Structure 1
Amino acid sequence: MVYGGEEALMRQYSIGDEIGRGRFGTVRRCHSNATGEALALKTTPKAPLHDPLDLALAEQEAKLHLFASSLPCNPHLVALHAAFDDANAVHLVVDLCAGGDLLSLLSASGGRLPEREAAGLAAQLASELAACHRRGVAHHDVKPDNLLFDAATGALKLANFGST
């Protein structure tokens, strides 16, 4: 599922505005030139990764996304659509979850959610973690800002396999 470097990426996707920033890189909106589908592009530049552990974590995330994308579809996992790798960066094209993240929801609600809503979110998260663990995949970075909401369905989706 690795389709080449940045030139191949630019042929297949139109890149839009930055919508997020993490420890290792940025997330931008993108659209498939073939289908028009709105997606997200996670770009991790290799140059700032001087620490061998940081480079290993960035490469591990790409490998875990590739592995997880080969598993039966789970509605609570941010799906990988394509990966591009070159000398300068790793680019992952993933689901766009425009519904925000759990950290923002908690902040807006004063750090509390109604019990029924919290239980539903916990069940969605447990389902995804169990599915990953049954297949030998560990997430490594489960936290509220890595739990995103699908704007269309409201489903909670697990993102960022431990490096951003």
Structure 2
Amino acid sequence: MSRIGKKPVELPSGVSASVSGQTVEVKGPKGTRSFTATDDVTLTVADNTVAVTPRGKSKRARQQWGMSRSMVQNLVTGVSAGFKKELEIQGVGYRANAQGNVLKLALGYSHDVDFAVPAGVTVTTPKNTEVVIEGIDEQLVGQVAANIREWRAPEPYKGKGIRYKGEYIFRKEGKKK
């Protein structure tokens, strides 16, 4: 029995959901998102909640039950509060600057890196060593953060690079003579 799937998804004030077939559409103050579930689960909306129930006792139905409920919860969270990832840049001369839909990164290469920000995500730089990625799609926000981090992942000797805020980098000791 899915512990996650058993709980219905509560809809906060200002958020509405509608189900047509296997597609649930959630509207909120930040936008509209939709998710199409597999035929193994049933989606129902009642009393400001969205409930997900499995259609049978098969292993696949039980797998899709919890996953579908989590996806609906992410839609509700995205359109009501949104998602946010914060990156820190450490290193001498390493900095970032958001200019419209382009994030300019100086990461120790012979050239600046111009990262094109996809639609549906906003990137801001409160300081030149901090990057904040926000949006209503959790997967897209996380993927953009991972793509930016990929340009200069933190290295274990000096800790230079782009890291998630609060991420711990295991530090290594250098060579000894």
TM-score (norm 1): 0.26
Q: Which has the higher helix share?
A: 1
Question: More relative contact order in 1 or in 2 (CA 8 Å, sep 6+)?
Answer: 1
Determine which structure has more spread, i.e. the larger CA radius of gyration.
Answer: 2
- The TM-score, its normalising length taken from structure 2, stands at 0.24
